[in-house]
């Protein structure tokens, strides 16, 4: 199944429930659904973003004191936790089921009037003195483009580039989490991005390079998972927000709680470290909501295929555009393998379809 069809199916179900995970649902399934992909240039549906923004947020919990580096911050917390809680399979916290992104405070770090509602859209006023001069200049140029055109004209996901950290934390659709005593797997539906957290481990980089999701180690402090991530590719916080450098690192604390309605929620307290792009470390809070209703709808995480089914491209003017059915370059996401003359080589799941 192509990413396009799967995501439209999922996002329709998400929109029916009017959940935060449906941020791009209307975008993906409107108009030429087969032509669009998740890296469409248009910002999310305004009504859904307003709902997401209205969701209650826990307070940001800054670090217990100022730290110059993520390593210093992480090691302080590890020492405070006396080396961390040594869980077994019988005691490890269980974050089962599907989880959808909720509200977060990240846009407030970079925009005077920042919220999810204007992170992608015009109307945001850049906070000065938060980013280093070169990165502030670039961010102002990005926001000026959004003010002029109503959106960021080109997004790097157009070319099937991974969202990466820290954008991963706020990517749409659903995630699944598997905790074991030695590893935690954080699986994102979007772009097949799975983060592996090595519990009580050390950073290892035999490839001597950076990665989209970096390298993550962590420890448990009771029911709270503390993570330190480094060696991250230069990326961004999300479309419309500032760029990050190749020195970006972050420390996260994940904890499952109950929201005021008694429903399960994951609270993520994050501190961003980036000596090249940030004047000083910044902290934000993100949330994820448990979504058993999506499981009841039949939503599942599938393999995300981009290179051979995405019809997005960068045009000569630097905009994200899409090939439509009938264009010579159009890729049919429900086409065939390289052996179309053989029976059973169609990618269409309807077996009796032509």
* pLDDT at 249 > cutoff 70: yes
Contacts of residue 223, defined as CB under 8 A and 6 or more positions apart, other chains included, come to 93, 255, 256
Predicted pLDDT of residue 18: 35
Predicted pLDDT of residue 344: 86
Average pLDDT, the chain: 86
Predicted pLDDT of residue 181: 98
Predicted pLDDT of residue 328: 92
Predicted pLDDT of residue 5: 37
Predicted pLDDT of residue 28: 32
How many angstroms separate the CA atoms of 246 and 241, rounded? 16
- Exposure on the CB side of residue 102, measured as CA atoms within 13 A: 21
Predicted TM-score (pTM) of this structure: 0.85
Task: Please compute the mean of the pLDDT values over residues 236-243 and round it to a whole number.
Answer: 96
Q: What is the assigned CATH class of domain 57-297?
A: mainly beta
How many angstroms separate the CA atoms of 127 and 100, rounded? 29
Q: How confident is the model at residue 20 (pLDDT cuts 50, 70, 90)?
A: very low
DSSP 168-215: GGG-SS-EEEEE-SSEEEEEESGGG-EEEEEET-----TT-S-BSS-E
Bridge partner residues of 254 (DSSP):
225, 268
| Span between the terminal Cα atoms of the chain, in Å | 16
198 close to 216: Cβ distance less than 8 angstroms: yes
Predicted pLDDT of residue 52: 63
- What residue ranges do the domains of the chain occupy? 57-297
Predicted pLDDT of residue 53: 65
Predicted pLDDT of residue 26: 35
**What tens digit of pLDDT does each residue of 76-86 get?**
999 999 999 99
Q: How confident is the model at residue 245 (pLDDT cuts 50, 70, 90)?
A: very high
**What tens digit of pLDDT does each residue of 292-335 get?**
999 999 999 998 888 878 899 999 998 999 999 999 999 888 88
What is the token pair recorded at 292?
């058993």
Run of H or E residues at 71: helix 70-80
* pLDDT at 14 > cutoff 60: no
**What tens digit of pLDDT does each residue of 22-75 get?**
333 333 333 333 333 333 434 445 555 566 666 779 999 999 999 999 999 999
Task: Please compute the mean of the pLDDT values over residues 162-172 and round it to a whole number.
Answer: 91
How many angstroms separate the CA atoms of 276 and 108, rounded? 20
**Residue 30 CB neighbours (<10 A):** 13
Predicted pLDDT of residue 47: 54
Predicted pLDDT of residue 343: 87
* pLDDT at 10 > cutoff 80: no
**What tens digit of pLDDT does each residue of 119-131 get?**
989 999 999 999 9
Q: Which of 28-37, 231-240, 285-294, 331-340 has the lowest mean pLDDT?
A: 28-37
265 close to 259: Cβ distance less than 8 angstroms: yes
174 close to 100: Cβ distance less than 8 angstroms: yes
Placement of tokens 């555009």 in the chain:
321
């Amino acid at each position: 199944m192509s990413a396009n069809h799967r995501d439209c199916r999922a996002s329709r179900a998400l929109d029916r429930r009017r959940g935060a995970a449906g941020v791009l649902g209307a975008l993906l399934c409107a108009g030429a659904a087969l032509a669009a992909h998740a890296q469409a240039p248009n910002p999310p549906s305004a009504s859904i973003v307003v709902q997401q923004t209205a969701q209650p947020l826990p307070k940001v919990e800054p670090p217990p004191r100022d730290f110059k580096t993520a390593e210093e911050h992480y090691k302080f917390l590890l020492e405070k936790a006396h080396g961390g809680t040594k869980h077994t399979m019988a005691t490890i916290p269980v974050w089962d089921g599907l989880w959808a992104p909720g509200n977060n405070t990240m846009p407030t770090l970079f925009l005077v009037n920042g919220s999810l509602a204007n992170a992608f859209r015009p109307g945001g006023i850049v906070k000065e003195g938060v980013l280093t001069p070169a990165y502030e200049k670039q961010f102002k140029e990005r926001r000026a483009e959004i003010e002029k055109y109503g959106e960021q004209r080109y997004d790097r996901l157009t070319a099937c580039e991974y969202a990466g950290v820290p954008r991963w934390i706020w990517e749409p659709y659903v995630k699944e989490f598997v905790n074991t005593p030695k590893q935690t797997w954080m699986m994102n539906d979007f772009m097949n991005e799975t983060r592996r957290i090595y519990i009580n481990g050390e950073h290892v980089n035999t490839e001597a390079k950076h990665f989209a999701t970096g390298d993550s180690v962590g420890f448990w402090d009771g029911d709270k998972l503390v993570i330190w991530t480094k060696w991250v590719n230069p990326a961004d916080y999300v479309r419309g927000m500032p760029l990050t450098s190749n020195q970006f690192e972050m420390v996260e604390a994940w904890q499952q709680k109950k929201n005021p309605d008694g429903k399960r929620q994951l609270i993520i307290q994050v501190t961003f470290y980036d000596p090249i792009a940030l004047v000083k470390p910044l902290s934000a809070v993100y949330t994820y909501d448990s979504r058993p209703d999506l499981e009841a709808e039949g939503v599942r995480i599938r393999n995300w295929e981009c290179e051979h089914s995405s019809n997005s491209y960068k045009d000569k003017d630097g905009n994200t555009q899409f090939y439509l059915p009938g264009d010579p370059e159009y890729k049919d996401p429900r086409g065939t393998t390289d052996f179309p003359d053989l029976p059973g080589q169609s990618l269409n799941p309807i077996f009796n379809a032509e």
